[in-house]
Structure 1
């Protein structure tokens, strides 16, 4: 009878057990790559129950409860513990510890990301490789917070961008440990880029790092079989924006309007204007489009790179060869730029304790261009009149009346000479690092480093005469005219120059890095010697007997010129840094740089520049545990540091002399020695102090990351000349002084989001926003006695780069308005007409004069910089979109950009919106003959335009071919892509100039927009 109850009991117990247990399964992947992870340990918390993921990253586990917690453990990844909460299917994405604590390159070393206590940003070199830019500097825009980038020109060979960190000024660029030129590099050579923004990060670079530092590390080999990569880009370039010019009908109409406004008779009759319009007589009434004659729609550019990398336990290697060819948009093949790059990086591991590194790079630039600068060419293009014929019907080049220099005609047929330059660069770096653990000193490494950068420049400009012709209407023959090179009365002129420079760097350093339980200590002591030296010469001759011999020896001995010189400067520095952290929670770091410069007098040559910074990882505190799942990373940073600057000419503590004046003895010119400047033996270092407070936060399983920094900066003892307060009647040049003071404050923030949605989709976004403005605390200015004028005109106390001028109040609409307005022409307004600019009488005295001027505008440097980078990947397709923008700065129109007819200028098409009684709400003043109207072209805010803009910087679409055949036909990867760069820009003004225009008159080679196709092959 007992058997039945027992059976019922165990049956019921088994049912309860089955009811309580639950089976859970899922897939474990890498959060960044989506790769399925094999062998991840999965443990039920509080038990010995566990399993591991299979080759597909899958796991299944039976648990005692559907509310149990699972712990996921994997070497190289952070452990995660997740409560089920009734889930039966749970996918988990693990964070790589390498990404969480990746090594960031800092001054003279590396530091884990979690230990960074100063303001440092990084740029992914992979992004640079995708951009169809001729220079690395062009590709930096929008890729890091606090980095202000501006490309002023798209001219081949001269299209590099200027860049500043936080608007501080030109940043120092360090390539593999020593100063270098960022545009000497091929983007495919770069491993990573770090941007050191505050003094605590950059102080170790002392005199050169006061404006921030950009650290570039080139690629190195890795252990494994040789990997061969080939990539190419084929690009079509066109101008982003550049205005059209007036055609013959508009030009004749505008000229007549200006003459009538000035009380003269029209020059062109209605019949002549109609002849221009109809084109019935193209020889006598042409309608020439000189812009189309000079420029084609597209220029061609191509880049190729071949590199190989690999290595073993003893040696790692990386070698690269690159080629860039950049053609222009000139219709004639008159401008070509070629750049060749070679690099070999070797890391040799002699034994367990000794490592050798050798980096050798070479770069050669070849540039062939017209004999005139882009400034000269676009200046003359603006003066090219449409009613002047370019060629007679038989192709004979004409002699137009508009250009006394005839630059356009000379360039048009490439018969006016040439400009050729060659630049050869060799960059060699060698280092040896010894681990003192060999002798029992654990954590100590000693390093010797040497670098040589050699640059040689050759420049040659050959200007020769060329023939132009005028049709003699009486004889029907062509009258010949010989045009000489601009600026010369000779038919042939040759200038030839050469300069070379050597930059040497020697470093000896000791680095100590140890961890004692929860305490970590790192220390650096480094001595550095830098030496710069170089020579240059210049020669010029003219009046060649033949234009077939373009060599100096063949020119005339008359009116020849020669010059040359050499220079040397030395810098000696001692660097120290000490870092401490407790339990990866509390961090403190101090550093110093003790610098010596030969630019100052003995006694002032040395400067000491310390810094200190600290960090607190709040997310590691015990009280934070309840928030860790939501916000896994929260860190506060703060820093204070100083730097020095010696940016002035050498030896200003001595009086200068010149040999440029002569006197005659027996008809022989004898050079004299004249004093050029006073001496200042007290001249010393400019000091820069920077304060920074930062916050780093990570959300949503570390998929969303936010970084914020607020900073202040002070510059004291800025080297300058007292030219404002000292009259120019002094009779001798002034000595530099530690005179000016500036301050700067701002903030920057960046937001990054990366999410693996599923096995097919990955999305990402990166945005940054920066603000930085510099204030003048004191500069030397002329003394202004009047209180009212001093308040309006003094620059001290305001932002830098502001302008002085008049404030405008629209255009006069009637004679009655003119009569009721203050006098602004010193002649009872008798020369003022409706359509002229009206100015504001600030002091209310009834007269517009210098006392009514005021500092106005925002300056020409953007105060705000922002960008948004969006990316998405679906299976083998990848799409990225980059938008960049800037705000808080002005563009000023000047000269020919203001009005047609000035200085014999034609006119831009946008200038047709000029005032007439029928066009009273016009944007521009009335037309005046010759474009000269002193009233309308005073320096005023009437010609100021807001530079605020949003640019569609880059759109990249790529496809990685799936593996096919046997191992993808031998290739590890085949990727094809298409890119649109500088696609278009949204701006706030109507003039057809790019917001980053280089010249206020429009005389510059415009920036490029481009379309690129290419392929990447990995073997």
Structure 2
């Protein structure tokens, strides 16, 4: 039996002081100055104890007597962090046509060592309202607003752990001669620096036709320097398993476009449509040699994909073998060189396709999965690994419409979409491998059974073979279009409201996630991405967005 009790408390004191000053400069000039001071003090405490071998499972208090032995433990913890920041900014506007903003923010955080505790982060932006210029006066009938804008700014991120620049200690989990010792639990990180994100943006705003057409276009570039990496593995002879570091530089750049249009606007009918689309490119520009460049997946084992971190390659790419089908018979397993000629041994004997020679040296048999021999050496190994895909979508966005009849009947629909990214269908791997005791899909009914069978499903084996190595056999296009929601709402007339004595009455029906258009064969293409260094988009049939139909009646009295 086990008994335990624990308690934790957190205390945060936040201070915010804001000062704004707006001087009077004249008819066409406006100036706003702004200063803000922030401070934050967070403290966290925790304590607890547990014991084993209590007399009964109902005895939940670990301090109660009656245990057959004194096996137990007590612990406590305390942490504190402080931050302080000062922002000074100003905005100058001339004739409502030219707007300039500038500011600088200074931050200090106790999570850094004394040498890097404070950071300075500037920002600036300009806006030119072109539609306000005299040469645009003849276009006011059609153009309501035309503005060009640009911005630049830097923000800083602090590490997640407290006391990183101190040598901290912890108790051992065991005792010697009735006493427990302590050991250093982290490396002193006095040189850890702020992670800085520098972003520049250029945009255009267009408003036309008496505010019935609104468009925004933005092009951006974001560079992250001194990128944080938590827990880089280091040799254990140092006495530690990992260390936090600033490790490199990463770029994100792309564009965004949004549109809102009202093509019909009358007393009886109003139609609104909206559309947005965005594109982002991610690229690793620089990375420390101490950072592991690949995940620990062994490509010589089934159901394993390689993930590499490489300069000038996108984050989230994964690699594996190229699947070519199934070996039909014994002759199809003969190894061929790049010219299509048989590869022969030193004594003239036939060479059959092998896997991972000489470490594993598995000889492929009829009915086994066939992988492309990239270098034509008769051996499927690391040299045959190729790029298979990336989990970052090329395009994301949505669109929708809202139609209103007579002011009291409204129909709305919203769609979302994502294109140009790949998913590893983990469910397909598990349900077609025929390797263990997992339930299998009906696809295995067309598996290879005898020489001459032509199929895409290898033979059935148990705990042997390499028929489901990480390959493009399980990689699919995850593009989709989803009807995210559709709503129908009716507001009852005022005459009816007066008769029944209520101020408002409406009925509605809303349906969510009821339709998805995709070529993806898995359960759901909207696969969540795990936030880790070597994350890949793997679908293991987690719960998809729930399809719901909701009926509602709202009354106001």
TM range (shorter): 0.7 to 0.9
Structure 1 residues 536 and 886 mapped into 2: Cα distance closer, same or farther (>3 Å)? farther
Cα distance in 1, alignment partners of residues 443 and 75 from structure 2: 46
Partners of 1:713 and 1:743 within 8 A in 2: yes
- Mapping for residues 160-175 of structure 1, pairs under 5 Å: none
TM-fit CA distance, 1:872: 0.5
1:704 matches 2:213? yes
1:952 matches 2:475? no
- Mapping for residues 176-325 of structure 1, pairs under 5 Å: none
Show the counterpart of 2:347.
none
1:690 matches 2:199? yes
Cα distance in 1, alignment partners of residues 444 and 169 from structure 2: 50
TM-score w.r.t. the length of structure 2 is 0.83
Show the counterpart of 2:116.
604
Show the counterpart of 2:343.
none
1:889 matches 2:427? no
Cα distance in 1, alignment partners of residues 361 and 154 from structure 2: 56
Show the counterpart of 1:920.
454
Partners of 2:98 and 2:127 within 8 A in 1: yes
TM-fit CA distance, 1:969: 4.0
Partners of 1:661 and 1:673 within 8 A in 2: no
Cα distance in 2, alignment partners of residues 816 and 976 from structure 1: 70
Structure 1 residues 890 and 544 mapped into 2: Cα distance closer, same or farther (>3 Å)? farther
Cα distance in 1, alignment partners of residues 435 and 11 from structure 2: 47
TM-fit CA distance, 1:514: 5.2
Name the structure where helix makes up a greater proportion of residues. 1
Structure 1 residues 1017 and 558 mapped into 2: Cα distance closer, same or farther (>3 Å)? farther
Partners of 2:285 and 2:311 within 8 A in 1: yes
Partners of 1:679 and 1:735 within 8 A in 2: no
Structure 1 residues 493 and 644 mapped into 2: Cα distance closer, same or farther (>3 Å)? same
Match 1:505 to one of 14, 22, 47: 14
Cα distance in 2, alignment partners of residues 552 and 877 from structure 1: 63
Structure 1 residues 707 and 509 mapped into 2: Cα distance closer, same or farther (>3 Å)? same
Give CA deviations for 1:289-319 in whole Å, capped at 9, x if unaligned.
xxxxxxxxxxxxxxxxxxxxxxxxxxxxxxx
Cα distance in 1, alignment partners of residues 9 and 442 from structure 2: 46
Match 1:523 to one of 23, 33, 53: 33
SS in 2 for 1:603: helix
Partners of 2:423 and 2:478 within 8 A in 1: yes
Partners of 1:781 and 1:794 within 8 A in 2: no
Partners of 2:488 and 2:508 within 8 A in 1: yes
TM-fit CA distance, 1:1004: 3.9
Structure 1 residues 966 and 774 mapped into 2: Cα distance closer, same or farther (>3 Å)? closer
- Gap regions ≥5 residues in structure 2: 294-306, 337-352, 531-537
Show the counterpart of 1:807.
322
TM-fit CA distance, 1:551: 5.7
Cα distance in 2, alignment partners of residues 599 and 675 from structure 1: 18
Partners of 2:16 and 2:38 within 8 A in 1: yes
TM-fit CA distance, 1:577: 1.4
- Aligned-residue Cα RMSD (Å) equals 3.2
Cα distance in 2, alignment partners of residues 560 and 901 from structure 1: 46
TM-fit CA distance, 1:1014: 1.5
Partners of 1:953 and 1:981 within 8 A in 2: yes
Work out the number of aligned pairs and report it.
514
Structure 1 residues 701 and 862 mapped into 2: Cα distance closer, same or farther (>3 Å)? same
Partners of 2:425 and 2:522 within 8 A in 1: no
Partners of 1:962 and 1:968 within 8 A in 2: no
Runs of 4+ deviating beyond 6 Å: 782-785
- Gap regions ≥5 residues in structure 1: 1-491, 786-791
Show the counterpart of 2:521.
990
TM-fit CA distance, 1:497: 4.9
Show the counterpart of 2:125.
613
TM-fit CA distance, 1:733: 4.1
1:720 matches 2:251? no
TM-fit CA distance, 1:914: 4.2
Partners of 1:897 and 1:1001 within 8 A in 2: no
Give CA deviations for 1:826-876 in whole Å, capped at 9, x if unaligned.
3797542344333333444432222333454113x4342111111101122
Structure 1 residues 683 and 548 mapped into 2: Cα distance closer, same or farther (>3 Å)? closer
Show the counterpart of 1:1016.
554
Partners of 1:793 and 1:854 within 8 A in 2: no
Structure 1 residues 905 and 535 mapped into 2: Cα distance closer, same or farther (>3 Å)? farther
Cα distance in 2, alignment partners of residues 762 and 884 from structure 1: 23
Structure 1 residues 630 and 820 mapped into 2: Cα distance closer, same or farther (>3 Å)? same
Partners of 1:648 and 1:719 within 8 A in 2: no
Partners of 1:592 and 1:608 within 8 A in 2: yes
1:858 matches 2:368? no
Give CA deviations for 1:17-47 in whole Å, capped at 9, x if unaligned.
xxxxxxxxxxxxxxxxxxxxxxxxxxxxxxx
- Mapping for residues 714-863 of structure 1, pairs under 5 Å: 714-720=223-229, 723=232, 727=235, 729-781=237-289, 795-820=310-335, 822-826=353-357, 831-859=363-391, 861-863=392-394
TM-fit CA distance, 1:795: 1.9
Partners of 1:891 and 1:995 within 8 A in 2: no
Cα distance in 2, alignment partners of residues 844 and 746 from structure 1: 40
TM-fit CA distance, 1:517: 0.8
Cα distance in 2, alignment partners of residues 784 and 645 from structure 1: 23
Show the counterpart of 2:296.
none
Show the counterpart of 2:349.
none
Show the counterpart of 1:533.
43
Partners of 1:513 and 1:523 within 8 A in 2: yes
Cα distance in 2, alignment partners of residues 868 and 637 from structure 1: 25
Cα distance in 1, alignment partners of residues 149 and 441 from structure 2: 53
Match 1:906 to one of 433, 439, 449: 439
Partners of 1:688 and 1:715 within 8 A in 2: yes
Partners of 1:794 and 1:855 within 8 A in 2: no
TM-fit CA distance, 1:781: 4.7
1:639 matches 2:151? yes
TM-fit CA distance, 1:818: 1.6
Cα distance in 2, alignment partners of residues 950 and 634 from structure 1: 32
TM-fit CA distance, 1:1007: 3.2
SS in 2 for 1:971: coil
Cα distance in 2, alignment partners of residues 1016 and 685 from structure 1: 51
Structure 1 residues 728 and 980 mapped into 2: Cα distance closer, same or farther (>3 Å)? same
SS in 1 for 2:103: strand
Cα distance in 1, alignment partners of residues 84 and 514 from structure 2: 47
Cα distance in 2, alignment partners of residues 965 and 783 from structure 1: 70
- Mapping for residues 937-948 of structure 1, pairs under 5 Å: 937-948=468-479
Cα distance in 1, alignment partners of residues 439 and 169 from structure 2: 46
Give CA deviations for 1:90-116 in whole Å, capped at 9, x if unaligned.
xxxxxxxxxxxxxxxxxxxxxxxxxxx
Give CA deviations for 1:933-960 in whole Å, capped at 9, x if unaligned.
4523333333222221111110111111
Cα distance in 1, alignment partners of residues 364 and 284 from structure 2: 38
- Mapping for residues 409-488 of structure 1, pairs under 5 Å: none
SS in 2 for 1:623: helix
Structure 1 residues 564 and 893 mapped into 2: Cα distance closer, same or farther (>3 Å)? farther
SS in 2 for 1:964: helix
Give CA deviations for 1:621-672 in whole Å, capped at 9, x if unaligned.
111122222222111110111111113322222234332354633xx3x323
Partners of 2:355 and 2:363 within 8 A in 1: no
